[in-house]
Structure 1
Amino acid sequence: MANLEQLDHEVMWHPFTQMAEWTPLVIASGEGNYLIDREGRRYLDGVSSLWCNLHGHRHPRLDRALRDQLERIAHATFLGLSHEPGIRLGAALVEVAPRGLSRVFYSDSGSTAVEIALKQSFQYWQLRGQPAKQRFLRVGEAYHGDTLGAVGVGGIELFHRIFGPLLVHSIAVPTPAGTDGDHALAVLEQHLVEQGHSIAAFVMEPLVQGAAGMRVHPRGFLARAAELCRRHDVHLIVDEVATGFGRTGALFACEHEGVSPDFLCLAKGISGGYLPLAATLATEEIYTAFLGRRDELKQFFHGHTYTANPLACAVGLESLAVLRESSLANARVQIPAMTAALARIAQFDGVEETRQCGLMAGIQLRAQPGRALGAEICTRARNHGVMLRPLGDVVVWVPPLSLRTEDMTLLEHATGSAIRESLA
């Protein structure tokens, strides 16, 4: 049989990857905060396996929860049936979510969590006798996923431009990142005043726009945007796919500004990084609009085969318990350590600035035309024992919440060494 690297080249097509220029690195296992390749080399998982791993790999309690559920049943549909892991995780999410979010609709990715919120908001207004409310507002440089509905409220030209003809287009508000936010709020208010009768919802990533390069919003923007939406009777959809479950130092980024949205979209860390799972939380007011006789056809006609997969829900419930008992507290300890490390990295030649929100950070490199500097630095970091992934000329740090002091030291050292080598 062909070796795995060769077989990968022969049959695989990887996401966001130029396959003509890529050499596979095959991961064999994981242990704690580390990935281990087939040669036994260890790498600190500096991006939490694309921002989803919370407690490290092979966490004993999460492993046990998965095994225990597997002894019962691996999957049963949530369409017309129910099961204990789905019910218990839903109740736990309602308990910890911002006040007023009382209903949980499961799916299996961040993109679907957002699309469900968009569709539920749209249908709510149709059911409430306001059929003109069909449009959506979004933030410039937004990223909400890669399915067409999510791309329709996205704004990253590099990813989204080619699919423009396929999309239902949204109305853009300038990103507040890097500003005082006043201009973005003024534009948002203008759209709401002039077009609020036709707008169903405003969708946004709270505090930090991850895929835009860890671009941080000014303090207070989320709360002021929420107030404008309430004033003009427009839903607020908050996409916490990346920021949820402790990444910002709170369970949810909304907590930092006391915001309770109409919809909360969750994925990535919801299962601790073990299995695909997502949830869209909504208010009781929205939920009750869908109630009625079956022949009225008010029900929400949307669902996925693996919605509320019992294995994912069981491990998600245990992950939430571990998060509340230990991982969130550990993250809060490591946030200032990351701030200090970034301050030192910012002094390197070739680093334009650093940006941070909790344990999410971006190192903005000074662009060099014709050179993929971010990718080069991330590749070199592997030689120093750290796995990173860039966003263009931004080197991203999103380590597990279980990061230890020695891991933070390694993350800084490997990144700094890779920058020096790339710019030598």
Structure 2
Amino acid sequence: MQENTKWQNRDLAVLWHPCTQMKDHEAYPPIPIRRGEGVWLEDFDGRRYIDAVSSWWVNIFGHANPRINAAVKQQLDTLEHVILAGFSHEPAVTLAERLVEITPPGLSRCFYADNGSAAVEVSLKMSFHYWLNRGQHKKTRFICLSNSYHGETLGALSVGDVALYKETYAPLLMESIVVPGPDCYAREQGESCADVARRQFAHMERALGQHADEVCAVIVEPLIQCAGNMRMYDPEYLRLLRDACNRFGVHLIADEIAVGFGRTGTLFACEQAAVTPDFMCLSKGLTAGYLPLAAVLTTDEIYRAFYDDYERMTAFLHSHSYTGNPLACSAALATLDIFATDNVVHRNRDLSARMYDAVAELADHPHVAEIRQTGMVLAVEMVADKPSRTPYPWQERRGLRVYHHALSKGALLRPLGNVVYFMPPYVITPEQIDTLGSIAIEGIELATHE
């Protein structure tokens, strides 16, 4: 029996995998990975795969990165964990200082959580609680964009709009106000993405005008709706939204969990609109994929609304057992060190251009509606009919065909429905990008061949 088969059998006897119909594994068993190095993953039979999706968008500096490894190992010999209620430690303090320094101006307080969904929950609760402490008891609702995704916990699902994840649990969720978003895929003839943003913002303006007195916050994924098929929009929408939130007295929550830390061409996506949100949620690339950690950055004004004598019961009592874990904070500090010393964002511009060049020929493919890109995220949308942009029926699972072809060629591509995307670690080489491009082109050709 091959090593892979042995581990697959053991896996399927006990594990329940995330975001998976487990019956699929009867035909396609999970691939057991024994080691990683740089952009490569290696299974137990010695086959290697380029990790083109950064292992769910988290691994930005490669697997087993020596500098991050060293930081975590050093921390492991000093302090693995301590309760952060009533206690503190150097990695948590230093990381908070660094995050305050590099995030948009005005974000001066850092609250730690364990993962992206938890960070969204913190921001929702904190926004609601702020208004409660300020005596505005009617503010109990949130506004989100169509096609948005903010995580899998119940609060995060409530402010998302991807039916695949949300529909089943609808009876359990609070009711949010969903506003048509600024997705540039829907642009009309002759329209720019900025034009779409301005046109679509009328819906948000109207919603805020009607509901501001009952709304705590608007939550958005700046520039890219990642789980929503990598749909992208112009920074103009963020500028308009920041102004409107100010005018209507509503918080702005920027969910930069997937798009932060260099993904969009700037360290944070909000920089491209020169806006500061009231809350910024960070995770994924924060630790370069090493350990679970999230942070919610917010303003001193919001912090002060909770600061009072204990008897007034205004404190924010949200907590996680592993809040501010020292090992995770050390991995995050090493990650920020790499950004600080290696000119990462600038170097990514060349890699970003190479990514587009690698698949540019697909622009004329009869079943490709669009190639879209923001920074180090590139997406290719397959459709049944190009002129009308009629999508393939989801039941045909065309993206799954690309996935299996890519695996056979030594690459991990994990399409979102009919959207094939690249979101690789920043340590990828131009030549490896070319390889991914060739594999994706072959896979799309096979997947769209009737």
TM-score by length of 2: 0.92
- Alignment match, 1:191: 207
- Confirm or deny: 8 A CA contact 1:330 1:402 kept in the other structure: no
Classify the secondary structure of the residue corresponding to 1:264.
Answer: strand
Residue 345 of structure 1 and its aligned partner are, at CA, apart by 2.8
**Is 1:248 the counterpart of 2:264 in the alignment?**
yes
**Same amino acid, percent of matched pairs:** 42
Q: 2:122 aligns with which of 116, 131, 147?
A: 116
What letter corresponds to residue 255 of structure 1 in structure 2?
E
Q: 1:19 aligns with which of 19, 22, 29?
A: 22
- Confirm or deny: 8 A CA contact 1:247 1:401 kept in the other structure: no
Classify the secondary structure of the residue corresponding to 2:137.
Answer: coil
Q: How does 1:213-362 map to 2 (within 5 A)?
A: 213-326=229-342, 327-362=344-379
Q: Deviations over 1:23-58 (max 9, x none)?
A: 111111101111111111111110000001111111
Q: Deviations over 1:365-415 (max 9, x none)?
A: 124444111011011111222101111111121001122111111110111
Distance in 2 separating the partners of 1:205 and 1:423: 30
- Confirm or deny: 8 A CA contact 1:328 1:401 kept in the other structure: no
Residue 181 of structure 1 and its aligned partner are, at CA, apart by 2.1
**Is 1:201 the counterpart of 2:204 in the alignment?**
no
- Confirm or deny: 8 A CA contact 1:101 1:284 kept in the other structure: yes
- Alignment match, 1:388: 413
Q: How does 1:343-422 map to 2 (within 5 A)?
A: 343-366=360-383, 367-369=391-393, 370-422=395-447
**Is 1:9 the counterpart of 2:12 in the alignment?**
yes
What letter corresponds to residue 43 of structure 2 in structure 1?
D
- Confirm or deny: 8 A CA contact 1:33 1:400 kept in the other structure: yes
Instruction: Say what the alpha-carbon RMSD is for the aligned residues.
Output: 1.4
Structure 1 range deviating more: 71-80 or 251-260: 71-80
Q: How does 1:151-162 map to 2 (within 5 A)?
A: 151-162=157-168
Classify the secondary structure of the residue corresponding to 1:402.
Answer: coil
Classify the secondary structure of the residue corresponding to 1:181.
Answer: helix
Distance in 2 separating the partners of 1:419 and 1:199: 43
- Confirm or deny: 8 A CA contact 2:355 2:434 kept in the other structure: no
Distance in 2 separating the partners of 1:184 and 1:80: 47
What letter corresponds to residue 418 of structure 2 in structure 1?
D
Q: Deviations over 1:150-183 (max 9, x none)?
A: 0000000111111100001110110110241234
Instruction: Write out the 4+ residue segments of structure 1 that deviate beyond 4 Å after TM superposition.
Output: none
Residue 79 of structure 1 and its aligned partner are, at CA, apart by 1.8
Structure 1 range deviating more: 107-116 or 214-223: 214-223
Distance in 1 separating the partners of 2:163 and 2:65: 38
- Confirm or deny: 8 A CA contact 2:198 2:236 kept in the other structure: no
What letter corresponds to residue 375 of structure 2 in structure 1?
G
- Alignment match, 1:55: 61
Q: 2:85 aligns with which of 49, 69, 79?
A: 79
Residue 194 of structure 1 and its aligned partner are, at CA, apart by 1.9
Distance in 1 separating the partners of 2:359 and 2:120: 32
Residue 328 of structure 1 and its aligned partner are, at CA, apart by 2.4
- Confirm or deny: 8 A CA contact 2:356 2:378 kept in the other structure: no
What letter corresponds to residue 340 of structure 1 in structure 2?
D
Classify the secondary structure of the residue corresponding to 1:132.
Answer: coil
Distance in 1 separating the partners of 2:164 and 2:317: 33
- Alignment match, 1:137: 143
TM-score by length of 1: 0.97
Classify the secondary structure of the residue corresponding to 2:370.
Answer: strand
Structure 1 range deviating more: 71-80 or 334-343: 334-343
Q: Deviations over 1:63-99 (max 9, x none)?
A: 0000000001111111221111111011000000000
Classify the secondary structure of the residue corresponding to 2:42.
Answer: strand
What letter corresponds to residue 223 of structure 2 in structure 1?
L
Distance in 2 separating the partners of 1:415 and 1:348: 13
Classify the secondary structure of the residue corresponding to 2:218.
Answer: strand
Distance in 2 separating the partners of 1:423 and 1:237: 39
Distance in 2 separating the partners of 1:285 and 1:354: 42
Residue 416 of structure 1 and its aligned partner are, at CA, apart by 1.2
Distance in 2 separating the partners of 1:368 and 1:245: 33
Distance in 1 separating the partners of 2:347 and 2:227: 25
Residue 329 of structure 1 and its aligned partner are, at CA, apart by 2.8
Residue 291 of structure 1 and its aligned partner are, at CA, apart by 0.3
Distance in 2 separating the partners of 1:93 and 1:353: 36
Report how many aligned residue pairs link the two structures: 424
Distance in 1 separating the partners of 2:328 and 2:211: 41
- Alignment match, 1:39: 45
- Confirm or deny: 8 A CA contact 2:399 2:447 kept in the other structure: no
What letter corresponds to residue 298 of structure 1 in structure 2?
T
Residue 346 of structure 1 and its aligned partner are, at CA, apart by 2.6
